[in-house]
A and B are shown apart, each in its own frame.
Chain A
Amino acid sequence: MTERQHIFDHKKNINRVLRALIALCVVSFAVDFVYHRHVVHPFEALWGFYAIYGFFACVILVLLAKKMRKWLMRSEDYYDRDD
């Protein structure tokens, strides 16, 4: 008996989610051109500051974390072994 297919088993739905995400990105970026954000720090005044900062912060975060693994990763029983 085949199992009932769930919502994300269909590649179509995953693509729909991704496309919705991209649409959200475009819209929120575009808002910057229409709405004047109240600014405290000069950086904030840049168009799409938060968007770009958020994107690059995450990318840099993940890449650095990956690098960290080279130094810090050990086997799961590293502390349990008694050598």
Chain B
Amino acid sequence: MLLVPIVGAFAVLQLPDGLSVQLTLMSITLEPLRVDQLSRLFGILFHIGAFIGIVFSLHSKDRGQHVAALLYAGSALGAVFAGDLLTLFLFWEMLALTSVFLIFARRTERAYGAGIRYLVIQVISGVLLLAGALMIYHQSGSLSFGHIGLNGAASVLIFIAFGIKCAFPLLHNWLTDAYPEATPTGTVFLSAFTTKVAVYALARSFAGTEILVYIGATMTCFPIFYAVIENDLRRVLAYSMINQIGFMVVGIGLGTALAMNGAIAHAFNDVIFKGLLMMSMGAVLHMTGRMNGSDLGGLYKSMPITTTLCIVGAASISAFPLFSGFVSKSMVMVAVLEEGHPVVWLMLLFASAGVFHHAGIKIPFFAFFAHDSGIRTTEPPLNMLVAMGIAAILCVSIGVYPWVLYDLLPFEMEYSPFDGSHIIAQIQLLVFSAAAFAWLKVANIYPPELHSTNLDIEWLYRRLAPKWIRSIVETMKPAHESVSRVRQKAGKGMMRWILNHYGPEGTLARAWPTGSMVLWVAVLLGASLILYYA
């Protein structure tokens, strides 16, 4: 099972640039395989993610999960190497179908519900994609998956389809609903593929679309508020994902070489450090059976290695200098300033401080430090530690020597993240954000972790819509009942009429005595005789 991503990675590295496999199906030209810098980078990324995920789940005997995870990774690869929209659609839906089993595998009530909701929303995204693709084929005669841009109804449909999978604001709730309900190992896979395929798709089709800048800025800001008040630590990470994807979306929206490279590099780093954070929380869940900040704490005493690895992930996501987040996030920040979006820049800066706060500090703090919850356990199984270790090593090496990553990036640019101003500015930002946390905690202003649910957009379709439907059904009930009653009465009446006339005692079916039959025949004959001659 471990060999699969390794062999796959070699295959990807062999693929020459510009390779395109075409086939014609019922007079439509399809391009199921298209290789270029962009898809190759994501291809390599997904192999790395799959490998780490597989190492992380080696201990599990749940074969269904392993199959689902591998198919899921495969679908992601198919999607990024797709050259036409139909192939993309095929793998788009495969992504949803395979990943939902990772959610179902948890086998709790909540997981089943969340999985169904997840599936419905993802399939809606696929259907929108198909509709848009067909419209484009009708308009232009080509299904080629390239730059589309926002012009016309078809492109809007595809934009929304990509947006759903990307967790655009208002379309994001499936992520925070479903990911925390999956298995400890499942969420690691989930976090790596679906959203990054969507980011790739946006980068391919909507690069430079200005509205993405504002959508992305919104995406970076609103989740961090939720992240502060959420109790389930993996839900905090899910909101954090939306925040990170926001940075990528902003970069794609700007469209310049630096911005696009920044977005793509950040996607690369995000899979690794988000995977690391999800793995550390997965390890905690696996060993303690708990995931709520209110129920955890003091785990550094029994899981010091996991704690350290989690802190590496936390430092990466916060963009600490010498960790991977710093070398990619700063690209987007610089690009935003260069393209003249000062308000967006301030929002991204706010979000950067925020992400350090909830992912960099809150996650490790409430899981491993804070008050001692009394849980004493051991380090997770070796394979989990190894997987986390690999991710951590990658985070640090990319952070220290980013040019390995930079060389893979598709667009030409000259950029060095290690100039004094940037490093100092970032350190100031981070250190003072940490100080803010410490002050708020010590002064008891910081909100406590509480068992709770926070309402998000899903309230509309989990509470409001069912309520409406139920009340409509209720008001229609008397009408429905009286219609049923009328139906029943009419049915009974008809039966009675039939019985009366055709039943054993009925006029038409009764056994008549022969004498009266002869009489009636004579009357009829006489009548017809008279009528004939009259």
Chain B associates with chain A: yes
* Contact segment of B267-275, B308-316, B350-358, B385-393: B350-358
B353 and A28 contacting across the interface, CB-CB below 8 Å: no
Chain A residues contacting B463 (CB-CB under 8 Å) are 79
Chain B residues contacting A48 (CB-CB under 8 Å) are 428
Q: Among residues 419 to 447 in chain B, which have CB atoms less than 8 Å away from a CB atom of chain A?
A: 419-421, 424-440, 442, 445-447
| Known contacts A50-B426, A58-B353, A76 near B452 by CB under 8 Å | yes
Q: How far is it, in angstroms, between the C-alpha of A64 and the C-alpha of B350 when the chains are bound?
A: 13
Chain B residues contacting A9 (CB-CB under 8 Å) are 372
B225 and A68 contacting across the interface, CB-CB below 8 Å: yes
A22 CB to closest chain B CB (Å) equals 7
* Contact segment of B62-70, B252-260, B337-345, B485-493: B337-345
Q: How far is it, in angstroms, between the C-alpha of A66 and the C-alpha of B444 when the chains are bound?
A: 12
B378 CB to closest chain A CB (Å) equals 15
A74 and B453 contacting across the interface, CB-CB below 8 Å: yes
| Known contacts A65-B229, A73-B452, A76-B451, A55 near B435 by CB under 8 Å | yes
B317 CB to closest chain A CB (Å) equals 15
Q: Find A57's partner among B226, B349, B428, B456 (CB 8 Å cutoff).
A: B349
Chain B residues contacting A75 (CB-CB under 8 Å) are 451-453
Q: Find A74's partner among B354, B437, B445, B452 (CB 8 Å cutoff).
A: B452
Interface presence of A6 (CB below 8 A): yes
Secondary structure dominating the interface of B:
helix
Interface presence of B301 (CB below 8 A): yes
Which residue of chain A has the shortest Cβ distance to B231 in the bound complex? A76
| Known contacts A75-B453, A79-B453, A66 near B447 by CB under 8 Å | yes
B425 and A50 contacting across the interface, CB-CB below 8 Å: yes
B229 and A68 contacting across the interface, CB-CB below 8 Å: yes
Q: Among residues 32 to 72 in chain A, which have CB atoms less than 8 Å away from a CB atom of chain B?
A: 32, 35, 37-41, 43-44, 48-59, 61-66, 68-69, 71-72
Q: How far is it, in angstroms, between the C-alpha of A45 and the C-alpha of B98 when the chains are bound?
A: 51
Q: How far is it, in angstroms, between the C-alpha of A31 and the C-alpha of B429 when the chains are bound?
A: 13
Q: Find A51's partner among B109, B432, B440, B442 (CB 8 Å cutoff).
A: B432
Q: Find B433's partner among A49, A54, A63 (CB 8 Å cutoff).
A: A54
Interface presence of B27 (CB below 8 A): no
A64 and B225 contacting across the interface, CB-CB below 8 Å: yes
A78 and B436 contacting across the interface, CB-CB below 8 Å: no
Contact with A along B236-272 (1 / 0, CB 8 A): 0000000000000000000000000000000000000
B342 and A41 contacting across the interface, CB-CB below 8 Å: yes
Interface presence of B276 (CB below 8 A): no
Which of A28, A64, A65 lies at the interface centre, i.e. has the most chain B CB atoms within 10 A of its CB?
A65
B353 and A54 contacting across the interface, CB-CB below 8 Å: yes
A29 and B428 contacting across the interface, CB-CB below 8 Å: yes
Interface size range of chain A in the complex: 35 or more
Q: How far is it, in angstroms, between the C-alpha of A9 and the C-alpha of B382 when the chains are bound?
A: 28
Q: Among residues 326 to 375 in chain B, which have CB atoms less than 8 Å away from a CB atom of chain A?
A: 334, 337-338, 342, 345-346, 349-350, 353-354, 357, 369, 372
Chain A residues contacting B334 (CB-CB under 8 Å) are 40
| Known contacts A69-B447, A73-B229, A25 near B431 by CB under 8 Å | yes
Q: Among residues 393 to 430 in chain B, which have CB atoms less than 8 Å away from a CB atom of chain A?
A: 419-421, 424-430
| Known contacts A57-B349, A73-B452, A79-B463, A21 near B431 by CB under 8 Å | yes
A21 and B453 contacting across the interface, CB-CB below 8 Å: no
A35 and B424 contacting across the interface, CB-CB below 8 Å: yes
A61 and B353 contacting across the interface, CB-CB below 8 Å: yes
B453 and A69 contacting across the interface, CB-CB below 8 Å: no
B424 and A37 contacting across the interface, CB-CB below 8 Å: yes
A50 and B228 contacting across the interface, CB-CB below 8 Å: no
Chain A residues contacting B427 (CB-CB under 8 Å) are 28
B420 and A59 contacting across the interface, CB-CB below 8 Å: no
Q: How far is it, in angstroms, between the C-alpha of A32 and the C-alpha of B354 when the chains are bound?
A: 22
Q: Among residues 1 to 36 in chain A, which have CB atoms less than 8 Å away from a CB atom of chain B?
A: 6, 8-9, 18, 21-22, 24-25, 28-29, 31-32, 35
Q: Find B438's partner among A18, A44, A65, A80 (CB 8 Å cutoff).
A: A18
Chain A residues contacting B445 (CB-CB under 8 Å) are 62-63, 66
Which of B226, B338, B349 lies at the interface centre, i.e. has the most chain A CB atoms within 10 A of its CB?
B349
Other A-B contacts than A31-B424, A58-B354, 16 sampled, CB-CB below 8 A, are A21-B431, A22-B435, A40-B334, A41-B342, A50-B432, A51-B428, A53-B350, A54-B430, A55-B436, A58-B357, A58-B436, A61-B357, A69-B447, A69-B452, A73-B452, A76-B451
A residues at B contact (CB < 8 Å): 6, 8-9, 18, 21-22, 24-25, 28-29, 31-32, 35, 37-41, 43-44, 48-59, 61-66, 68-69, 71-80
Shortest beta-carbon contacts, A-B, top 9: A58-B436, A65-B228, A54-B429, A57-B353, A37-B421, A38-B421, A50-B428, A54-B432, A55-B432
- 27 CB-based A-B contacts, threshold 8 Å: A8-B300, A24-B431, A28-B424, A28-B431, A31-B428, A32-B428, A37-B425, A40-B337, A40-B338, A50-B349, A53-B350, A54-B433, A55-B432, A55-B435, A55-B436, A57-B350, A57-B354, A61-B350, A61-B353, A65-B447, A68-B225, A69-B454, A71-B455, A73-B453, A73-B455, A74-B455, A79-B463
